[in-house]
Structure 1
Amino acid sequence: MIKLSVLDQSPISDGSTAAQAFSHTVTLAQEVEKLGYTRFWVSEHHNSVSLAGSSPEILISHIAAKTDCMRVGSGGVMLPHYSPYKVAENFRVLEALYPNRIDLGVGRAPGGMPIATRALQEGKMVSLDQYPEQIADVAMYLHDQVPENHHYANLKATPVIPTSPEMWMLGSSGESAMIAAKQGASFAFAQFINGYGGPEVMEAYQEQFQPSYLGDKPKSIVAIFVICGETNEEAEKIASSLDLSILLLEQGKRTTGTPSIETAQNYSYSAYDLFRIKENRQRMIVGDPSSVKEKIVNLSKAYNTEEFMIVTITHRFEDKLNSYRLLANAFHL
């Protein structure tokens, strides 16, 4: 049985505000919990005019308080910016407040431009080569497995509690998958970032997985953009704003948030722009409920996974809510 979850980046629509984006994120979490979605993750982006979520830990706490039983987590904490010990303590606090409901998803992307990275790390630039060690450190703090020969032997991440957050490694490449496999961690592949080669990456993760105290068998999620409409035509119309938003982002053009459908339809696209939009559709599923369901089912077989994390960005919040409702109904959640 396929499970559906949500990754929400608190997108700011053109003409809207960050406060409204956060309000929509909370409303969305409450609605998708009623619809039967499994988990709800929020992201980390810095110095962004189009994505409001810069502190997933704070937003997780608020969303968990506003919902009842759905798992809530980070998608993810950009670990190279931070102390593994502090990340572990933050998520132990969350787990203590909301037992058996918290997910810690960690990634190594900067989540912003180099100036934001410099500001976050304040001159203590962390090499990406240290990322596997950081992952191991977070895991050992969360599970009280600090070895005696470790430079922080006998250190406890407090509060000391009987349960641990579920730890997930996020990635869009084979390298991230191999780190997750060697650590025995669960792995979430970001097809919404990289539309190519995902099934091969997941196969390698599953084959190379080494059991650990994080997990005894591989566990995976695939995250993908989805726009579901009442009809294929309606879905295509709604998705045009996401097409333009991604295009402008990859061209390095500043925007004032997710553009409207009207802006997208009136935009002057070059031949190369249209080529890029077509290529970026590898990161998305767009269509009516039956066609979207069919594509997710086919991807489930290709990835050998049973859980999909849906990323939906639209200009109008009503279109976003309806997309998640249509999808939930199609899968009989």
Structure 2
Amino acid sequence: MYGLLMVDVEGTQLNEADIELLKQTQVGGLILFARNVDNPDQVRSLCNQIRSINPHIIIGVDQEGGRVARLRQGFTPLPAMGKLGELFEQNPTQALKLSFYCGYLMAAEVLAVGIDLSFAPVLDVNGISQVIGDRGFHTNPEGVVALSTQFMRGMKAAGMATTGKHFPGHGSVAPDSHIAQAIDEREFAEIEQYDMQTFVQTLPWLDALMPAHVVFSKVDDKPAGFSQKWLQEIIRKKIGFNGVLFSDDLSMQAAHVAGGAGERVKAAINAGCDMALVCNDRTAALQALQTAQTLPLPNQQRMANMKASIPTWQGTLESTCQQFTKWQEAKIAVNEFLS
């Protein structure tokens, strides 16, 4: 049974408060941060400990590359995806091949230590956003589609489900929604024809979506992640996506428009999210837990479909990754690009 909350834990091993939280039926996911990571063997041990308490839990991480990489010591560094966009302008064939390798390498190493998925790829166009920047693959939708498709092909070749973020696009609004309210005043037609295309054109490769904490004021007065118009009318009906919808972190400043932690979770779930993330604030997570007890559990079939495609491994990162046939090849190619 999959719960509707994704939470976090305090350190590199579980304490009593973490264990009590993970026992709750409403907790269906856990996201790891840099503070939870020492080395690959420790991450594997932590994931095993987590699953001994909550066997069905989905464990996630943000391992995009560049500045957004929670797994560092003992893991292969990845470039920021924007670097692939720069290469794409000079040598598109090489950039596309390298994007596949990055997706494969990232997924192989994340899976090898017991984590189910990285919330990737970023499908936002690298425009004026203060938080996207070179996390985005390219400065135009066509480049994002080409490069991210190869990245997702690599992820799937290694066995990882994909999560496109931040629907319908965060790249064309400047404020960082982690620390401020972000409002996009463009008409829906412009958003649909530009930012949304990176999601629409990669839809066959996507297993999950994460909506942006951006208010698209000409469409709805709520952030996309709290909006039935965006999640149900546009994502589910208009573009026909039936995968998992993860909220972005509900502790981010732009999410506070919905009220306290409980109200934010309720707003996200009622709008159509399957799982709500409440991170880096244990008090908020406990408040969210109380509210979650009054809400329906997520669509179990959608969650099960995504989870079923993810392989399980045991062993060290090195020994496990030897079973990924392209791991060494991908590692060499990525290291050469970064050198």
TM-score (norm 2): 0.48
